[in-house]
């Protein structure tokens, strides 16, 4: 019936009615906390371009993880920053590497915490690229995939609950799945960075991880921001290769991609609310330009509404506190 018989405001008048008809739920269970672990001892250093986010040495990461668990968050995504870097990113697949040691410490201290590891070479290479360049500076796909799969195995051996390849090399999901199965880790899932765009919003992360490319850029392997159908194709290929969960990165500028991938695949889907998205909100809040709590929860709800089952966000701990 048309107005005045139909009045949409009737079910907006009280908190109870709004809760009864709410279509999208956001809870701490939907959030994943990313964290940076760095070589050394007793380190908690704030990242200037990401106010409120720190790098942690292993013991301090374990302490931070306790705070994350207490906030009601059950999952963390770990990025490593090694003491030394080289041309082939050997620290990424070193069994005594920074992430491998951190995973063992986290699982010992917090056995119920789900630990996902970022699988890439960019934090470990002296040139900052996600793969190995040839003499002309072109990233070699197949050689890089071998080392990325080797990295995933070392993380699983250390006790990682899931591995998340973020390099965007072709075929890396299939290579990782094959190696995990061959090496006795058939139950370790792969969270694939399926639609990872070449984005300006990664700037603060590159400061945090010291992974800015030393030459060129990553447009040769990360996706063109103009493309949408390609993201669906990437996601479908990753599923065919054995991915258990997909990811779209970044989140807020790509909510249409989140929706398209979710509708096309129906697969479990994460979205990464990346460093630049975090820093933009944080800077506006620190300047008093918006209400941080309301803006963050609205943003995360929008990402969920677009189709994300899980959200990786540097706001995870704060958001969990606001939600509770």
DSSP states of 200-259: GGGHHHHHHHT---SSS-STTTSBPTT-SHHHHHHHHHHHHHT-SEEEEESSGGGHHHHH
Quote the CA–CA distance of 138 and 265 in Å, as a whole number. 32
DSSP states of 152-183: HHHHHHHT-SEEEE-S--TTHHHHHHHHHHHT
Residue 209 has pLDDT above 80, yes or no: no
Output the furthest CA–CA distance in the chain (Å, rounded): 73
Residue-wise pLDDT for 276-313, tens only, equals: 999 999 999 999 999 999 999 999 999 999 999 999 99
Answer yes or no: 196 catalytic.
yes
pLDDT of 71: 96
pLDDT of 203: 87
- Which helix (H) or strand (E) segment holds residue 268: the answer is none
pTM of the model: 0.95
Residue-wise pLDDT for 61-70, tens only, equals: 999 999 999 9
Cis-peptide, bond into residue 250, ω within 30° of zero: yes
Structure tokens at 305: 């509404």
Catalytic residue among 85, 138, 196, 317: 196
Residue 208 has pLDDT above 80, yes or no: no
Q: Are 59 and 105 in contact (CB under 8 A)?
A: yes
CATH number of 25-323: 3.20.20.70
Catalytic residue among 85, 249, 262, 317: 249
Quote the CA–CA distance of 218 and 295 in Å, as a whole number. 31
Q: Give the residue, 192 or 214, on which the prediction is more confident.
A: 192
**Using alpha carbons only, how large is the chain's radius of gyration in Å?**
20
Percent of the chain with pLDDT over 90: 87
Percent of the chain with pLDDT over 70: 99
Quote the CA–CA distance of 259 and 100 in Å, as a whole number. 34
Residue 154's alpha-carbon distances to 46, 99, 125, 150, 260, in angstroms, are 28, 9, 17, 6, 34
Residue-wise pLDDT for 15-28, tens only, equals: 999 999 999 999 99
268 closest CA partner among 247, 251, 253, 237: 247
**Residue 100, burial from CB neighbour count under 10 angstroms (0-12, 13-18, 19+):** buried
pLDDT of 218: 81
Residue 238 has pLDDT above 80, yes or no: yes
Rounded mean pLDDT, 52-78: 97
Quote the CA–CA distance of 224 and 202 in Å, as a whole number. 14
């Amino acid at each position: 019936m048309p107005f005045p018989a139909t009045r949409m405001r009737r079910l907006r008048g009280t908190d109870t009615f709004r809760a009864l008809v709410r279509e999208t739920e956001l809870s701490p269970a939907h959030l994943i906390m990313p964290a940076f672990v760095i070589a050394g001892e007793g380190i908690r250093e704030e990242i200037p371009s990401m106010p409120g986010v720190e790098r942690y040495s292993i013991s301090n990461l374990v302490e931070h993880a306790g705070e994350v668990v207490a906030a009601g968050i059950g999952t963390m995504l770990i990025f490593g920053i090694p003491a030394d870097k080289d041309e082939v990113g050997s620290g990424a697949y070193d069994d005594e590497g920074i992430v491998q040691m951190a995973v063992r410490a986290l699982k010992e201290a917090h056995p119920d915490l789900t630990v996902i590891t970022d699988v890439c070479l960019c934090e470990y290479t002296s040139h900052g690229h996600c793969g190995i360049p040839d003499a002309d500076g072109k990233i070699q796909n197949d050689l890089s995939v071998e080392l990325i799969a080797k990295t995933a195995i070392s993380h699983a051996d250390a006790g990682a609950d899931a591995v998340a390849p973020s390099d965007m090399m072709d075929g890396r999901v299939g290579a990782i799945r094959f190696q995990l199965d061959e090496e006795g880790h058939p139950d370790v899932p792969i969270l694939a960075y399926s639609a990872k765009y070449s984005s300006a919003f990664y700037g603060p992360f590159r400061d945090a991880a010291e992974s800015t490319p030393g030459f060129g850029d990553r447009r040769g392997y990360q996706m063109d921001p103009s493309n949408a159908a390609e993201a669906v194709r990437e996601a479908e290929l990753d599923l065919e290769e054995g991915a258990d969960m997909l990811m779209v990165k970044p989140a807020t500028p790509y909510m249409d991609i989140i929706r398209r991938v979710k509708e096309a695949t129906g697969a479990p889907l994460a979205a990464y609310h990346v460093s630049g998205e975090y820093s933009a909100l944080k800077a506006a809040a620190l300047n008093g330009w918006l209400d941080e709590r309301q803006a963050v929860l609205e943003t995360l709800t929008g990402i969920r509404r677009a189709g994300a089952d899980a959200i990786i966000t540097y706001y995870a701990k704060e958001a969990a506190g606001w939600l509770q």
